[in-house]
Chains A and B, each alone.
Chain A
Amino acid sequence: MASIRRPRPTLSVVLCTYNRAELLRRTLDSLCRQSLDKALFEIVVIDDGSTDDTRPVVQAYESLLPLRYSRQRNAGLGSARNHGVFLSQGKILVFHDDDDLAGPRLLEEHLETHRRYPENRYGVLGYTGLNPSIAHDPLMRFATRVGFFLFSYPTLKNGDVLDFRYFWGGCSSCKREWLLDCGVFNPVFRFGCEDIDLGFRLSKHGFRVVYNSRAASYMVREIGFDGFCRRLHLQGQSNYVLSRLHNDPAIQEWAEVIGAKEAWARIGLKYDAIIRAGRELDRIARLRAECGLSMDEADTKLLHQCYFVAFRASKIKGIVEKANAMGANWSS
C-alpha cells in the first residue's frame, strides 16, 4: 500500500504495469542504477490489476528504491496513469513503461532539461532504443527505424522543440502542476492515444515537448509479428475514438481515419492472406537472423513491404471496427 510520509522528491517516475512481473523486475533493476540521487526521486508503481507476481516483485525492491506501490482494478492505461499522477509527490513526472530499461542517466537528463526549460508548459521527450537482446530483431528494427510504427526517432535531433504529436507516453515527462491545471489523461483510452490526446489538449495551453536524446531507455520486450498486429489493431480503435473527440485537422491527420473505410473496402477480403504472408516472411527472416545469414536488398525490401501492409491493415481494421461499433456516419 502506498504511504506518503517521506520528504517530497523533486521527480516522480510513474510506472504503470499489468501482468509483466518479470519485465518489471528488470525495469526496477535499471532504476536502481540511476545517476540521480535517490533522495531526489520516487518510483510510483501502479499495478493495473495484475494477476501475476507483480506485487512480490515490487516488494523485493522496497529496500532498494524510494518506491510506492498502489493497486487498482484493471481499468487501462489512462486511469492508471491518472492514479499515478495523483499519488506522485514530485513536481516533475516521468512516465516510464514496464518493458523499458532505464539508461543510467535517464532521470538526471529529464531533470536537467526541465531545469533548462522551467516554464510549466515545457515537457520532455526522452529516447527509447532497442536493448541489445532485441536490436537485431527484424521486426523491431523495421518498426522503429523504417516504418515508424513505434516511435520515429530518426526524424528527430537532440534539442528539437516539438508539438503534441511527440508526447509519447512511456518516455516523456512534464510538470505535475501543469497537468493539475490543464488536464490529465482521458480514462476512455485503455491502450493507445492516451498520450496524444492529453498532449493535444495541453497544446491548447501552449504545451511543447523538448527532445533530449540522452534521456535514454531501452525496450526489452520482443513484441513479435502477431503481437504487433494486435497492438496496431488496438491502436486503430483508439485512433478512431481520438478522432471523434477532437474535430481538429491535426488530429484527423494523425489518427489516419480519413480514407480508412475506403482502404478497408480494398483490403478487408485480403486481410487474412496479408497477415499470413507477413507472418511467414517474418518467420523466415528470424530464422535467417538466428543462423547469421544476411538478407539481400530485394528480400529486405519485400519483408518491409509485407510488414508495412500487414501493420497498416491491422490499424485500419481497428479503426473501421471501432467506427462501426460506435455507429459511425462516414459521410460526415
Chain B
Amino acid sequence: MSGAKTLGSDTAERVLVAGIYLADRENNIVPISSELGQSKHWIVDQQWIALGRGAIPDGLAPVTVSTVETPTPKFVLLNQLLGKLDLDRYSFVLVCDDDIGLPPGFVDRYMELVVAHEFALAQPARSHCSDIGHVFVEALDGLTARWTRFVEIGPVFSMRHDAARLLLPFDETSPMGWGYDFIWPVIIEKAGLRMGIVDAVPVDHNLRKHGAAYDYDSSRQTMAEFLAPRPHLSRHEAFSIIESYC
C-alpha cells in the first residue's frame, strides 16, 4: 500500500498529528501521545498546543509547540498551528483531541485502511462505550470500513494532503467547527474524492460528557446560521453509507 513503508527507510511517509489539549482539565494526552508515537510504518510528527494554565505533563514538552492561556476556539488554534507548518512534507494530517482512548497499534491499522480505501477525509468510528453525538459514527461491528458522506469534526479525523488543501484553513465563522462536517462532503465529493469511517479501530470518547463544554442550543444556532448560506448536506443525506467493506 502507498505510505506504509518501513520506518527508517528513505521513502517512509509522514503523518502530522495536530491537536490541542486542555492543560488545566483531566485529559488523556499522555497515553494518546505515547500511542501515536508507536507507529512502525509512518513517521509521526506530533504538534500539540496546550490550552489553559496547567502544567505541561512529563514527556509532553518536546511535542508541545505552544501554550495558550486564554480560552480560544479549537479551529482558530488549529489554523494558527497548521498555518505555520509546511504541510507539503506530510501525506496526512491527523487532527486529534485530548479526551480519547486509542486502541494499540492505532496509527498503523487506521492509516492502512485509510490508504487502502482511498479516503481523503476519514475518521475512526467511535466505540460502543463512547459518548455518541451522531449515531452514524458508532462502530458497525461487522464492517472494517465504510465510504460515507459524513466525517465529524472530532475527536479524531484525518485529511490526506489533497483534502487538506481543500479544507484548510478552517472557516473561523464557526470557530468551534459546528457545521463543517455537513459542508465537507460537498467539497470532497465535488473534487471527486472519497471520505469514510474506519470501523476496525474504534476509539473511546467518554472522558468528558458530550456537549458539557458548550451551550448546546447556542451551538445549534451557530451551526444553522453558518450552514444557511453555504452548500451543505442535510442529516438524512449526510448520514449515508455509499459502500461498505468487511
Residues of A within 8 A of B (CB): 1-4, 48-49, 70-76, 79-80, 82-83, 86-87, 89, 91, 176-177, 179-181, 183-184, 187-188
Q: Mark B180-197, 1 if CB is under 8 A from A, else 0.
A: 000000000000000000
Instruction: Say yes or no: B136 contacts A86, CB within 8 Å.
Output: yes
CA distance A187 to B127 in the complex (A): 11
Instruction: Say yes or no: A2 contacts B241, CB within 8 Å.
Output: yes
Task: Identify which of B128, B242, B244 contacts A83 (C-beta below 8 A).
Answer: B244
Segment at the interface with A among B77-85, B138-146, B166-174, B221-229: B138-146
Interface residues of B in 66-82 (CB under 8 A from A): none
Q: Mark B206-246, 1 if CB is under 8 A from A, else 0.
A: 00000000000000000000000000000110011111101
24 pairs across A/B with beta carbons < 8 Å? A2-B243, A2-B244, A3-B242, A4-B240, A4-B242, A48-B142, A49-B246, A70-B241, A70-B243, A71-B246, A72-B141, A72-B143, A76-B141, A80-B142, A86-B140, A86-B239, A86-B240, A89-B240, A177-B235, A180-B136, A180-B236, A184-B135, A187-B128, A187-B140
Task: Identify which of A3, A73, A86, A89 contacts B142 (C-beta below 8 A).
Answer: A73
**A83 and B143 in contact, given A2-B241, A70-B244, A180-B236 (Cβ under 8 angstroms):** yes
CA distance A79 to B141 in the complex (A): 6
CA distance A1 to B143 in the complex (A): 13
Q: Given the complex, which residues of A lie within 8 Å of B146, measured CB to CB?
A: 86
| 13 further A-B pairs in the complex, CB-CB below 8 A; given A3-B243, A187-B140 | A2-B241, A3-B242, A72-B142, A72-B244, A74-B142, A79-B141, A79-B142, A83-B142, A86-B140, A87-B240, A180-B239, A187-B128, A187-B141
CA distance A74 to B138 in the complex (A): 17
Main secondary structure of the interface of B (DSSP, over half): mixed
Q: Which residue of B lies closest to A181 (CB)?
A: B235
Q: Which residue of B lies closest to A74 (CB)?
A: B142
Residues of B within 8 A of A (CB): 128, 135-136, 138, 140-143, 146, 235-236, 239-244, 246
**A91 and B142 in contact, given A2-B244, A70-B244 (Cβ under 8 angstroms):** no
**A86 and B241 in contact, given A48-B142, A72-B143 (Cβ under 8 angstroms):** yes
Q: Given the complex, which residues of B lie within 8 Å of A180, measured CB to CB?
A: 135-136, 235-236, 239
Across chains A and B, which 5 residue pairs bring their CB atoms closest together, nearest first? A72-B142, A75-B142, A75-B141, A73-B142, A79-B141
Q: Given the complex, which residues of B lie within 8 Å of A179, measured CB to CB?
A: 135
Instruction: Say yes or no: B240 contacts A82, CB within 8 Å.
Output: no
Instruction: Say yes or no: B235 contacts A73, CB within 8 Å.
Output: no
Instruction: Say yes or no: B246 contacts A82, CB within 8 Å.
Output: no
CA distance A82 to B135 in the complex (A): 10
CA distance A76 to B236 in the complex (A): 25
Name the residue among A74, A83, A91, A177 with the largest chain B CB count within 10 angstroms. Answer: A83
Q: Given the complex, which residues of B lie within 8 Å of A80, measured CB to CB?
A: 142
Q: Which residue of A lies closest to B242 (CB)?
A: A4
Q: Given the complex, which residues of A lie within 8 Å of B236, measured CB to CB?
A: 91, 176-177, 180
CA distance A310 to B138 in the complex (A): 39
**A72 and B140 in contact, given A91-B236, A183-B135 (Cβ under 8 angstroms):** yes
CA distance A181 to B140 in the complex (A): 18
CA distance A184 to B239 in the complex (A): 12
Instruction: Say yes or no: B135 contacts A73, CB within 8 Å.
Output: no
Q: How far is the CB of A296 from chain B (nearest CB, A)?
A: 50
Task: Identify which of B135, B140, B241 contacts A79 (C-beta below 8 A).
Answer: B140
Q: Which residue of A lies closest to B144 (CB)?
A: A73
Q: How far is the CB of A275 from chain B (nearest CB, A)?
A: 33
Q: Given the complex, which residues of B lie within 8 Å of A79, measured CB to CB?
A: 140-142
CA distance A83 to B141 in the complex (A): 9
CA distance A3 to B242 in the complex (A): 6
